[in-house]
């Protein structure tokens, strides 16, 4: 191949390459011109659960009857303190995008003090009030182990529910003195909430 021919072919190839890299286009002198684009969106499987503050911190709900010792065991519920919303209340949210979700709460045993005395988790009630979504997120009933499951029904595969959960100590019976539960080892103060989805 002669140098002149090679130069002409190289020039022609360089002229065509920018067209090959461009989006589809049509040029006409009459009528209409069309050009097309393809779009794609990739959504991963998502399951999000929040109980309390968002992030990695663990909130604590306290029930302190030190200021009202005459009320111990009289059946009058005791409001809590703490929680991300204050006054013993927390933010609770579930978001899932692959069908129905089940929600459970699990404790490793009853609340325990340093002397080994116990208070069952059934003495702590949870009241759910409406949040920002159209469906209020129901709270599992606490127990000394795994709670019964709460079923969250999906609409078009989506579960999006939230609520304000407010905790109270039922104060049903007198109990021995001490600090029960908390984050101390052996106090069994921690409840783990678990959401599951297909």
Chain segment 110-146, per-residue pLDDT in tens: 999 999 999 999 999 999 999 999 999 999 999 999 9
Mean pLDDT of the chain: 91
> In the CATH scheme, what is the code of domain 47-196?
2.60.40
**Of the candidates 133, 138, 145, which has an alpha carbon nearest to the alpha carbon of residue 109?**
145
Task: Give me the sign of the Cα torsion angle 143, 147, 148, 151.
Answer: positive
For residue 17, give the 3-state DSSP assignment: helix
pLDDT score of 179 more than 80: yes
Q: Are 85 and 91 in contact (CB under 8 A)?
A: yes
Q: How confident is the model at residue 1 (pLDDT cuts 50, 70, 90)?
A: low
Q: Where are the alpha helices (DSSP H) in 22-99?
A: none
How far lies 153's CA from each of 16, 75, 157, in Å?
A: 57, 35, 9
For Cα atoms 78, 102, 194, give the angle at the middle one, nearest 5 degrees.
60
CA–CA separation, 73 and 63 (whole Å): 13
| pTM given for the model | 0.83
Q: What is the pLDDT of residue 22?
A: 59
């Amino acid at each position: 191949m002669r140098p002149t021919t090679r130069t002409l072919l190289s020039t022609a190839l360089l002229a065509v390459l920018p067209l090959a890299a461009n989006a589809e286009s049509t040029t006409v002198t009459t009528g209409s011109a069309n050009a097309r684009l393809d779009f794609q969106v990739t959504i991963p499987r998502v399951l999000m659960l929040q109980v309390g503050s968002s992030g990695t911190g663990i909130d604590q709900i306290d029930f302190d009857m030190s200021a009202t010792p005459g009320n111990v065991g009289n059946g009058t519920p005791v409001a809590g303190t703490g929680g991300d919303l204050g006054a013993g209340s927390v933010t609770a949210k579930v978001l899932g995008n692959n069908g129905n979700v089940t929600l459970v709460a699990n404790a490793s045993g009853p609340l325990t003090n340093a002397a080994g005395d116990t208070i069952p988790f059934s003495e702590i009630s949870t009241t759910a009030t409406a949040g920002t979504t159209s469906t209020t997120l129901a709270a599992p009933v606490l127990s000394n182990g795994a709670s019964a499951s709460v079923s969250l029904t999906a609409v078009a595969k989506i579960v999006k529910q939230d609520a304000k959960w407010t905790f109270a100590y039922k104060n049903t019976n007198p109990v021995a003195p001490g600090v029960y539960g908390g984050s101390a080892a052996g106090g069994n103060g921690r409840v783990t909430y678990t959401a599951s989805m297909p």
